[in-house]
Structure 1
Amino acid sequence: MTISLVKGQKIDLTKGNAGLSKITVGLGWDPVTKRGFFSSKKVDIDCDASALLLDENGKLTGKNLVCFHNLKSPDGSVIHSGDNRTGEGEGDDEKIHIDLDRVPANIHRILVVVNIYDCVNRKQDFGMISSAYIRVVNRSNNQEMVRFSLTDNYAGKTALIVGEIYRYNGEWKFNAIGEGTFSPHIDLLARQYV
Structure 2
Amino acid sequence: MGIVLKKGQKIDLTKGNASLKKILIGLGWDTNKYDGGYDFDLDAAAFCCGEDGMVHNDLDFIFYNNLKHSSGAIEHLGDNLTGDGDGNDEEIIIDLSLIPQNISRINFTVTIHEPEERKQNFGQVSNAYVRVVNSDNSQELLKYDLGEDFSIETAIVVAEIYRYNEEWKFNAIGSGFQGGLAALCRNFGLNV
**Same fold per TM (> 0.5)?**
yes
Query: Is 2:44–2:110's contact at 8 Å kept on the other side of the alignment?
Result: yes
What percentage of aligned pairs have identical amino acids? 48
**1:86-126, Cα deviation, whole Å (9 max, x unpaired):** 11111000000000000000100000000000001001000
What are the equivalent positions in structure 2 for 1:57-72 lying under 5 Å apart? Answer: 57-62=52-57, 63-72=59-68
Other structure's SS at 2:34 match: strand
User: Which protein has the bigger strand share?
Assistant: 1
Query: 1:24 is matched with which residue?
Result: 24
Shift of 1:16: 2.1
For the aligned residue pairs, the C-alpha RMSD in angstroms reads: 1.5
Residues 1:182 and 2:178 are matched in the alignment: yes
Cα separation, 1, equivalents of 2:147 and 2:164: 27
TM-score (norm 2): 0.94
What are the equivalent positions in structure 2 for 1:1-194 lying under 5 Å apart? Answer: 1-34=1-34, 44-62=39-57, 63-184=59-180, 186-194=181-189
Cα separation, 2, equivalents of 1:165 and 1:42: 36
Task: List alignment gaps of at least 5 residues for structure 1.
Answer: 36-40
Query: Is 1:32–1:42's contact at 8 Å kept on the other side of the alignment?
Result: no
Cα separation, 1, equivalents of 2:182 and 2:151: 21
Task: List alignment gaps of at least 5 residues for structure 2.
Answer: none
TM-score (norm 1): 0.93
Other structure's SS at 1:121 match: helix
Paired residue type of 1:120: E
Query: Is 2:159–2:171's contact at 8 Å kept on the other side of the alignment?
Result: yes
Which moves more between the two structures, 116-125 or 12-21? 12-21
Cα separation, 1, equivalents of 2:37 and 2:85: 12
Which moves more between the two structures, 170-179 or 67-76? 67-76
Shift of 1:83: 0.3
Query: Is 1:33–1:43's contact at 8 Å kept on the other side of the alignment?
Result: no
Aligned residues: 188
Shift of 1:25: 0.3
Q: Do the aligned partners of residues 31 and 43 (structure 1) sit closer, same or farther apart at CA in structure 2, a change above 3 Å counting? A: farther
Query: Is 2:7–2:174's contact at 8 Å kept on the other side of the alignment?
Result: yes
Other structure's SS at 2:60 match: strand
